[in-house]
Chain A
Amino acid sequence: MTSSVKPLIPDDDADRLAAAFGRRGFMGAGVAGGLMATPLFAAGAAHAQAAGDAEITVDQARTAPIPIVLPSLGSGVAQQITDVISADLGNCGLFRPISASMPQGTPDFGSYKSMGARAAMTGKVVDQGNSLRVEFRLWDVVTGKQIQGTAYTAASQDWRRIAHVIADVIYGRLLGEQGYFNSRIAYIARSGPRARQVTRLAIMDQDGADSRYLTNGQWLTLTPRFNPANSELAFMSYANYRPRVYLFNLNTGQQRLLGDFSGISFAPRFAPDGRSVVLSVTRGSGSDIYTVDLATMARRQITSSGAIDTSPSYSPDGSQIVFNSDRGGSPQLYIMSAAGGDAKRISYGHGHYGSPVWSPRGDLIAFSRIANGSFSLGVMAPDGTGERILTQGFTVESPTFCPNGRVLAFCRQSSAGSNGAGFATGINTIDITGFHERALPAGSASDPTWSPLNK
């Protein structure tokens, strides 16, 4: 998926907009490996102006999704690209796609305005044999100005990636923050009877498309975690009845053991720079947290409470770790320096807490909470304040943030009932506001981990 990376040509408008608004990390146009992006200038109007007009805050978009006209780019693969763009934008809950026929030349902004549209896309798809060229323009309906014009060229089989990149550009231009549609989710695919489920490491696009298995299901396999810096997973496998953490290189398919601990090694997470992994290792009646340097495999023990210390997750700046511990008697959330030392409990609601994960924005920690026999999924500030429950259920756990921190994917399981027949397990996504929960078409699955943006 990351093959044939070509040089990127920055989009003039993107650069200008980024400079004008000083926003962090405007993604530019050409971000995807295998994709080449070239600027398309607006006919007549030399350049976009007043781009600020096109920016709408995310909070406004939550309560009032941005109406955007998405005319069909054509038939066949062009229609499929249109459908993926529309699904990305519509499913995230922040846009309301409006279908239309493709205008000849400059759109009729008056009619778009009367439809209530705020923005519009135009473009076309040129089949160049083995490759596709997709010309894309984004318009501010109110001002009639072109916000962006870019032509993307990529191998024909990468049409989905072009669609996701365009959807990300629309998201970024209209919301002022980076999109996340050109990303993937690794997970555990589950099949078979509940008492002995077959578990396979699997990966799919963030919208559930193009899923494939990475392991054959011979051994119990759990908790894949993406390296935020490259195409690598850490995961837990019971291979040879020795449950331990392994690394899986998505480019080569090669696996390797991570460290050689005498106890069970589990609950891995990468450091933000991708150069080390923090994990836990059982010892006696508890488990300790260690870091393992990926270059040298040198390990460092950072907790030794004697209790269960597990599920460590770094803050995005790498300075702190949130983790799950029952050192105080019941499983709760704690924060400590990434070097270890004193830990401060941050969870004080009713029940037990677990599976904490730090948002890439740094401002939230997502978690599971278990009380009265059922689970909740929530977020709180790193100091433990502002706890909000986003969704509840028999089991809702294993939250993972999308690259911009706006959406969580998690595992939702139903009660099996008294005879096991009610058991179902799947992957859902939900906005951090608690809105727009939806099931991903991943089948029977658990343990999602969201990738960084595809390179």
Chain B
Amino acid sequence: MKLKLLGAAGMALFLAACSDHANKNVNTGAATQQVGPTPGSEADLVATAGDRVLFALNQNTLSSDAKATLDKQAAWLAKYPQVHVQVAGNCDDRGTEEYNIALGERRANAAHDYLVAKGVDASRITTISYGKDRPTAVGDDEASWAQNRNAITAVQ
């Protein structure tokens, strides 16, 4: 909900910033002003590290891709020690509502625990689970489900 919207908005800002940047380069031939996301912001997290990791069906195991993303998140969080984040776990809709609330929290905790192991203070990270009730992709096919099995890190 709020967190996801922030993520989406951050993504949109980032894309807009990129196109602005490109246009400025084309128009002026010089990029003298800073046009990227605000340092330490959600958009910056998305641009620098990526805000989400994906999971296999009914799993909370972190893939090498997921660990690479979380490594970048940990480095980014080390750079902005005042920032607090919330990790939201989500599921595809091929489980029951209640089981998926617990499964989403299990995924959020997998990301949380990895970030803490990488040196992020646990007090800076909260977790939440939306089960299958806040899908990123609104479709029902393998591609959508794969996107919806995630843990999304959002700046608080």
- Taking Cβ atoms with an 8 Å cutoff, the residues of A that contact B are 193-197, 199, 220, 222-223, 238, 241, 243, 263-264, 266-267, 280, 282, 284-287, 308, 310-311, 324, 326, 330-331, 352, 354-355, 368, 370, 373, 394-395, 397-398, 413, 415-420, 422-423, 446-447
Does the CB pair B98–A415 fall under 8 Å? no
The docked-state distance in angstroms from the alpha carbon of A183 to that of B138 is 35
Chain A residues with CB under 8 A of B141: 417-418
Contacts A195-B134, A196-B5 hold; do A417 and B139 have CB atoms under 8 A apart?
Answer: yes
B129 at the interface (CB under 8 A from A): yes
Measured CB to CB, the closest approach of chain B to A446, in angstroms, equals 8
Chain B residues with CB under 8 A of A413: 93
Does the CB pair B97–A310 fall under 8 Å? no
Does the CB pair B136–A195 fall under 8 Å? yes
Give the dominant DSSP class at B's interface. mixed
Does the CB pair B97–A397 fall under 8 Å? yes
Of the residues A194, A267, A285, A354, contact of B135 by C-beta under 8 Å:
A194
Contacts A195-B134, A195-B135, A354-B99 hold; do A286 and B129 have CB atoms under 8 A apart?
Answer: no
B103 at the interface (CB under 8 A from A): yes
Interface size, chain B (Cβ < 8 Å): 37
Which of B99, B109, B139, B143 has most A Cβ within 10 Å? B99
Using a CB-CB cutoff of 8 Å, which residues 105-132 of chain B contact chain A?
105-106, 109-110, 128-131
Does the CB pair A267–B98 fall under 8 Å? yes
Measured CB to CB, the closest approach of chain A to B134, in angstroms, equals 7
The docked-state distance in angstroms from the alpha carbon of A311 to that of B103 is 13
B60 at the interface (CB under 8 A from A): yes
B15 at the interface (CB under 8 A from A): no
Chain A residues with CB under 8 A of B136: 195
B38 at the interface (CB under 8 A from A): no
Does the CB pair A282–B102 fall under 8 Å? yes
29 chain-A/chain-B pairs, Cβ below 8 angstroms: A194-B135, A195-B134, A196-B4, A223-B97, A241-B3, A241-B86, A241-B128, A243-B101, A243-B128, A243-B129, A280-B98, A282-B102, A282-B129, A286-B106, A308-B99, A308-B102, A308-B103, A324-B96, A324-B99, A354-B95, A354-B98, A368-B96, A370-B94, A370-B95, A394-B140, A397-B96, A415-B140, A418-B141, A420-B140
Does the CB pair A308–B106 fall under 8 Å? yes
Chain A residues with CB under 8 A of B97: 222-223, 355, 397-398, 446-447
Using a CB-CB cutoff of 8 Å, which residues 49-91 of chain B contact chain A?
58, 60, 86
The docked-state distance in angstroms from the alpha carbon of A256 to that of B131 is 23
The docked-state distance in angstroms from the alpha carbon of A311 to that of B130 is 16
Chain A residues with CB under 8 A of B93: 395, 413
Measured CB to CB, the closest approach of chain A to B152, in angstroms, equals 13
Does the CB pair A355–B98 fall under 8 Å? yes
The docked-state distance in angstroms from the alpha carbon of A419 to that of B130 is 21
The docked-state distance in angstroms from the alpha carbon of A418 to that of B147 is 13
Nearest neighbor of A309 in chain B, beta-carbon distance? B102
The docked-state distance in angstroms from the alpha carbon of A354 to that of B143 is 24
Q: What are the 10 tightest A-B residue pairs by CB atom distance, in nearest-first order?
A: A420-B138, A354-B96, A308-B102, A416-B140, A415-B140, A267-B98, A282-B105, A194-B138, A287-B102, A285-B106
Measured CB to CB, the closest approach of chain A to B114, in angstroms, equals 12
Does the CB pair B138–A220 fall under 8 Å? no
Does the CB pair B94–A419 fall under 8 Å? no
B20 at the interface (CB under 8 A from A): no
Measured CB to CB, the closest approach of chain A to B90, in angstroms, equals 11
Of the residues A193, A285, A310, A324, contact of B138 by C-beta under 8 Å:
A193
Nearest neighbor of B126 in chain A, beta-carbon distance? A241
Nearest neighbor of B5 in chain A, beta-carbon distance? A196
Which of B2, B93, B133, B144 has most A Cβ within 10 Å? B133
Measured CB to CB, the closest approach of chain B to A219, in angstroms, equals 8
Other CB < 8 Å A-B pairs besides A308-B106, A354-B99, 15 of them?
A194-B135, A196-B5, A199-B133, A241-B86, A243-B101, A263-B105, A264-B101, A267-B101, A308-B103, A354-B98, A416-B138, A417-B141, A418-B143, A419-B138, A447-B97
